[in-house]
Amino acid sequence: MIDIRFLRENPEAVKENIRKKFQDKKLELVDEVIALDKESRQNKTEADSLRASGNKYSKQIGALMAQGKKEEAEEMKALVNAQSEALAAAEAKEVELQEKITKIMMIIPNIIDESVPIGKDDSENVEVQRYGEPVVPEFEIPYHTDIMERFNGIDLDSARRVAGNGFYYLMGDIARIHSAVISYARDFMIDRGFTYCIPPFMIRSDVVTGVMSFAEMEAMMYKIEGEDLFLIGTSEHSMIGKFIDTIIPEEELPYALTSYSPCFRKEKGAHGIEERGVYRIHQFEKQEMIVVCKPEDSKMWFDKLWQNTVDLFRSLDIPVRTLECCSGDLADLKVKSVDVEAWSPRQKKYFEVGSCSNLGDAQARRLKIRVNGKDKKYLAHTLNNTVVAPPRMLIAFLENNLNEDGSVNIPVALRPYMGGKEKILPKK
């Protein structure tokens, strides 16, 4: 959510930003919110005037009563009562106007960074750099669930009977790799100076609307019936929510946190939820990283965050590349975003395994995350990035470490988490 003062003073810049995001239907919202803001300020001026005169008349009533001028005091009381009614109406109108303004401001997209490439959707994202040499072996790479089934490592049929499509049972060595990757990612981030955290897996509605757009919420979040609680789609939600309505001493910044959580997503409107596999599912686990920092440090932290993911995947012998997300692919709160994609030898292409985002002060404005600086209070900047999400990581891991005999190599970095095993052998 952008600053209302910025919109008031720079309406054309806000409109141009909307055009860059190919959301022309929202252009009229800028003029609408400007008109509402003008009406709100006029209403506030009138309310302040009524309040001031009411206080003045109240003092005069006391003086008149002291002088024995009861009739004049009663006339003054009637005037004060009339003004009180007018003031109450003005205050009610102010609440109504502010609700309308906030609702619209929550829909108007954040101002994107000037470096973001302009494009309509993810097909126009721009490759930045590749890390590691993509390899396509001479033998055929099976579909990832076929690899897992050779290890008796996955049961989709039972999961479908228990919970429906989009769920799975992981077992044996495959389940162990899953847990090993999460543990390794945790320690990897701790070694890079991040504080480990396990957050709540449910959050209230005021946190949900503070960390994401309405469109994202509708497509992603599961609501707990009868409760003001939602299951998190990523631990970023509760990690950023940790700082709701706080004033942070400037000297305590930055906060660099890495968190583990299960994640729950409706994947409404997404393609592939019916497919046999674990690429797009309703429940998974993830290691996340978030940063709360001073505005001048957010660009530096943005580059650090996506580099962490690249380094982790390379430490597990998985080639990756980074993609700069174009304007049309950015969620409304994001200033800038880079996706990390892993190499798939079977598909002979890269696929997304993580996303790094700088949200500027958008989340901080919604959640009232302020910093107590030397001269003034100001809004913090927030960033987030996927360290690793094992369902997709498992696909990349198995395909890139598969041998022709069906065994899977365990990279050196992961062996301490796998009981020292150098490879795992198929059961069938």
pLDDT per position in the chain (428 positions), as tens? Answer: 899 999 999 999 999 999 999 999 999 999 999 999 999 999 999 888 877 776 676 666 666 666 777 777 667 677 767 778 888 888 899 999 999 999 999 999 999 999 999 999 999 999 999 999 999 999 999 999 999 999 999 999 999 999 998 899 999 999 999 999 999 999 999 999 999 999 999 999 999 999 987 777 888 899 999 999 999 999 999 999 999 999 999 999 999 999 999 999 997 655 554 456 888 899 999 999 999 999 999 999 999 999 999 999 999 999 999 999 999 999 999 999 999 999 999 999 999 999 999 999 999 999 999 999 999 999 999 999 999 998 899 999 999 999 999 999 999 999 999 999 999 999 98
* Cα–Cα distance, 355 to 302 (Å, whole number): 11
In this prediction, residue 84 carries a pLDDT of 80
In this prediction, residue 391 carries a pLDDT of 86
The pair of structure tokens assigned to 326 is 């174009």
Contact 353, 344 (CB under 8 A): no
Give the DSSP H or E segment for 181.
Answer: helix 172-191
Cα within 13 Å of Cα(203), Cβ side: 27
Amino acid in the structure at residue 50: L
Residues forming CATH 3.30.930.10 domain(s) in the chain:
122-424
* Cα–Cα distance, 162 to 297 (Å, whole number): 47
Give the DSSP H or E segment for 119.
Answer: none
Closest CA to 391 of 181, 160, 232: 181
In this prediction, residue 341 carries a pLDDT of 97
Residues forming CATH 1.10.287.40 domain(s) in the chain:
4-105
> Class of 122-424 per CATH?
alpha beta
In this prediction, residue 49 carries a pLDDT of 84
User: 3-state DSSP call for residue 201?
Assistant: coil
User: 3-state DSSP call for residue 373?
Assistant: coil
* Cα–Cα distance, 2 to 303 (Å, whole number): 23
> Class of 4-105 per CATH?
mainly alpha
In this prediction, residue 66 carries a pLDDT of 67
- Rounded to an integer, what is the distance from CA 260 to the centroid of its chain? 15
N-to-C CA span, the chain: 54
β-strands 126-131, 195-197 pairing: unpaired
In this prediction, residue 88 carries a pLDDT of 87
The 10 Å Cβ neighbour count of residue 252 is 10
Residue recorded with tokens 């001493």:
249
In this prediction, residue 51 carries a pLDDT of 78
* Cα–Cα distance, 110 to 331 (Å, whole number): 9
- Rounded to an integer, what is the distance from CA 30 to the centroid of its chain? 24
Phi/psi at 68 (5° precision): 80, 10
User: 3-state DSSP call for residue 48?
Assistant: helix
What count of residues does the chain have?
A: 428
Burial class (CB in 10 A: 0-12, 13-18, 19+), 194: buried
Residue recorded with tokens 């505005």:
295
Q: At what angle do helices 27-66 and 11-20 cross, to 10 degrees?
A: 140
Amino acid in the structure at residue 109: P
User: 3-state DSSP call for residue 222?
Assistant: strand
